[in-house]
Structure 1
Amino acid sequence: MRERTTIVRESADGDATAEAQPAEIPSRSLTSRVTALLGSRAVRVVFVLATVALGGYAVADQWPQVRSGFADFGVGALLGSFAFVLLSLVATMQVWRSLLAAAGSRVPVAPAARIFFVGQIGKYLPGAVWPVLAQMELGQAQRIPRRRSATVAVVTMLVSLAAGLLTAAVAAVAGLTGSATGGYGWAFLATPVLLVGLHPRVLNPMIDRLLRLARRPPQEVPLTGRAIVVATLWAILYWVLNGAAVWLLATRLGAADGRTFLLATGGFAFAWCAGFLVVLAPAGAGVREVVLVASLSPVLSVGKATAVALASRLLTTVGDLLSAGLAAWVGRRRGHDHD
């Protein structure tokens, strides 16, 4: 009689089931090993420490250049800009949360904030995959299938990118063309591709095809056109709020031209999109500042536009870290209350 051993095999929904197999069959597939590694507590702790360290380094690295300009901005403008940044983070969480609900997982605000904001700090690592992996693992606490988490995370990025490019295109009428794009005007070429790709008749078959390639079953609830539109509206609000944050700083430095709000909003959106498409730049570092400075050049000198761009980066980084920290703290408190 051949000796048999029990192995753990991942089900389609990401759940683990035990079944007996002959001893000569490997005890775990490569996929199961990778999933177990990513889901381990040690890896989660290292992930959080690494991303917080990189985010903190970004703040420290920018601080000497921004400190001299803070006196010109004033406390009121900085606090007002930071308030817009925090509101924009809520809006971008709603992009993800609305798509997740449309895909079949309705998550209350508090746990949704923990999954989204803690996962989002992964963007400070090179590559766009880390927030996706983090949300896949954090979503397990809310019984969100990994394949659904991954699908929604990717669609959220595509919706945000499409909405950002559309917002920047509207701002083009205010002078956001040519040199004002910082040499990254080619990013606009992605707009028609994204708009076509987000149509449900294209998006859902594409998602199901990718799931089949990953040997996973198709979506239980295909995304509808209404879900994409709602998510896009939330994404546009995100860009407008961030534009308001930049506009407030720019006007404090003397940008009184009527085009400033459009330039700030479209410039920030386009800067983020360009930074996202340059995948080797963690959180678009460097790329975003170059584009935002170029976008503000019609209304500010290079020196003042640079101060605004660096202050914007600092405030958004602090906002990311603060929102992740608060969401994790609230989640821990709620967990203790239920014990």
Structure 2
Amino acid sequence: MSRVLEVLRSRAVKAGFLVVALALAVWAVVSQWDEVSAALVSMDPLLLVAALALGLVYVVLTMLSWRAVLADHGTPLPMSSAAPVFLVSQLGKYVPGGVWNIVAAAEMGADHRIPRRRSVSAMLVTLLISMVTGLMLAAISMPFSPPALADRFGWVLVLLPLFVIVLLPPVLGRIVALALRVTKGEPLERPLRWRGIGAAVGWQLLAWIVAGLQVWVLAVGVGMEADARSVLLCIGGYGFAWVVGFLVVVVPAGAGVRESILAIMLGASLSTGGVLAVVLLSRVVLTLADLLLGGLGLLLSRRARAARAAAAVGRTGPTEPTGPTGPTGADVR
């Protein structure tokens, strides 16, 4: 077993995994390019730039939520270390299975001396916070949703008080402990604290708002009314679509599932063509954001590795020459 783990943690396997994740992320864009290019024709380029900017901010805010949880677990990371670990690990979302971003975060975190068990539990807490806050915003937006969706998922609004209770650190800690026990993972090293979880929830709520605004910008670009109702619909709709897509683990990054939920949410406010344009462009914009920030994370990771290597050389000093003459130059043969 130790030999298997050693192979899986080798540099070659990590590099191969990264190549596969990058290829699948690119394929997510290329495979729908005909439909995407048709949607691009009618879209104001400035709105596309704004949507991409919002997509980038969304990923960064999600990273800040994870960073707050990790600090609550006992590992406060500077941004220079947090960015490479989180941004690169997110490319694992595009590999089917739903767990590869967690695995990638654990392996990359180990390079920064973060225990793997701590990385896994921190990512698990972050995902639970993402799901519960996404459902909270979906509940708030449910009164503005199309009747077909409100009739089917109206229970989300009824459960809003429960979602709030779940986010209380003592309750959330017990849920995480149970999940780790069921999956035979190691228990939490320390109780979850109010300050850390509060910061993580705040960052994640901001992230959902920004992600919803990204959808709203695209929807307005194809004819949606620009009012408060449409803003709430897009914010709650995206949060709900993400949660459902995440739960369907057999597809990478919720592909198809997320778009279906968004299409239902926006169907009453846009034409069929408009809905198709928004869901496709939103997927492409967020994939590009992941790719761009993942590339930035790789660059930062390479620079950090080079800096650590240079520091190690500086601590040990230059290596004295060895060989047939020995370190002093005397012939030892």
- TM-score (ref. length: structure 1): 0.83
2:79 is matched with which residue: 101, 109, 114? 109
* Alpha-carbon contact 2:54-2:214 (below 8 Å) kept: yes
Cα distance in 1 for residues equivalent to 2:159 and 2:14 = 34
Determine whether 1:225 maps to 2:194. yes
Q: Are residues 76 and 155 of structure 1, via their aligned partners in 2, closer, same or farther at CA, if it must alter by over 3 Å?
A: same
C-alpha displacement at 1:185, in angstroms? 6.8
1:246 is matched with which residue: 212, 215, 220? 215
| 1:237 aligned residue | 206
State the one-letter code of the partner of 1:144. Answer: I
State the one-letter code of the partner of 1:226. Answer: R
| 2:7 aligned residue | 37
Q: Are residues 76 and 217 of structure 1, via their aligned partners in 2, closer, same or farther at CA, if it must alter by over 3 Å?
A: closer
Determine whether 1:173 maps to 2:116. no
| 1:329 aligned residue | 299
Q: Which has the higher strand share?
A: 1
What are the superposed Cα offsets for residues 171-217 of structure 1, whole Å, 9 maximum, x if unpaired?
A: 11222553369x67777798777655543323334545666788876
Cα distance in 1 for residues equivalent to 2:153 and 2:15 = 36
1:67 is matched with which residue: 37, 49, 69? 37
| 2:56 aligned residue | 86
* Alpha-carbon contact 2:212-2:235 (below 8 Å) kept: yes
Once superposed, which parts of structure 1, at least 4 consecutive aligned residues long, lie more than 6 Å away?
A: 183-193, 212-217
C-alpha displacement at 1:111, in angstroms? 1.6
Deviates more, 1:243-252 or 1:91-100: 243-252
* Alpha-carbon contact 1:176-1:263 (below 8 Å) kept: no
Q: Are residues 107 and 75 of structure 1, via their aligned partners in 2, closer, same or farther at CA, if it must alter by over 3 Å?
A: same
Determine whether 1:301 maps to 2:271. yes
State the one-letter code of the partner of 1:102. Answer: D
* Alpha-carbon contact 2:136-2:163 (below 8 Å) kept: no
Determine whether 1:318 maps to 2:291. no
Residues 138-217 of structure 1 mapped to structure 2, 5 A cutoff: 138-175=108-145, 178-179=148-149, 195-208=164-177
Deviates more, 1:33-42 or 1:210-219: 210-219
What are the superposed Cα offsets for residues 252-285 of structure 1, whole Å, 9 maximum, x if unpaired?
A: 1111252221111111111111101112121000
Cα distance in 1 for residues equivalent to 2:23 and 2:111 = 25
C-alpha displacement at 1:34, in angstroms? 4.3
* Alpha-carbon contact 1:178-1:185 (below 8 Å) kept: no
2:94 is matched with which residue: 117, 124, 127? 124
- SS of the residue 2:32 aligns to: helix
Cα distance in 1 for residues equivalent to 2:264 and 2:32 = 19
Q: Choose 1 or 2 for highest CA Rg.
A: 2
Cα distance in 2 for residues equivalent to 1:174 and 1:115 = 38
Q: Are residues 52 and 217 of structure 1, via their aligned partners in 2, closer, same or farther at CA, if it must alter by over 3 Å?
A: closer
1:136 is matched with which residue: 58, 81, 106? 106
Cα distance in 2 for residues equivalent to 1:268 and 1:208 = 28
Cα root mean square deviation, aligned:
2.5
What are the superposed Cα offsets for residues 141-188 of structure 1, whole Å, 9 maximum, x if unpaired?
A: 11111111000011111000101111111111222553369x677777
* Alpha-carbon contact 1:293-1:306 (below 8 Å) kept: yes
C-alpha displacement at 1:136, in angstroms? 0.8
- TM-score (ref. length: structure 2): 0.85
Q: Are residues 119 and 176 of structure 1, via their aligned partners in 2, closer, same or farther at CA, if it must alter by over 3 Å?
A: farther
Q: Are residues 219 and 311 of structure 1, via their aligned partners in 2, closer, same or farther at CA, if it must alter by over 3 Å?
A: same
| 2:47 aligned residue | 77
Count of aligned positions: 308
> Which residues of structure 2 form unaligned runs of 5+?
311-333
Q: Are residues 209 and 246 of structure 1, via their aligned partners in 2, closer, same or farther at CA, if it must alter by over 3 Å?
A: closer
Q: Are residues 267 and 214 of structure 1, via their aligned partners in 2, closer, same or farther at CA, if it must alter by over 3 Å?
A: closer
Deviates more, 1:69-78 or 1:256-265: 256-265
* Alpha-carbon contact 1:132-1:150 (below 8 Å) kept: yes
1:100 is matched with which residue: 66, 70, 76? 70
State the one-letter code of the partner of 1:72. Answer: S
Q: Are residues 76 and 160 of structure 1, via their aligned partners in 2, closer, same or farther at CA, if it must alter by over 3 Å?
A: same
* Alpha-carbon contact 2:139-2:160 (below 8 Å) kept: no
Deviates more, 1:69-78 or 1:52-61: 69-78
Cα distance in 2 for residues equivalent to 1:104 and 1:269 = 29
* Alpha-carbon contact 2:91-2:101 (below 8 Å) kept: yes
* Alpha-carbon contact 1:107-1:142 (below 8 Å) kept: no
* Alpha-carbon contact 1:162-1:191 (below 8 Å) kept: no
State the one-letter code of the partner of 1:164. Answer: G
* Alpha-carbon contact 2:72-2:197 (below 8 Å) kept: no
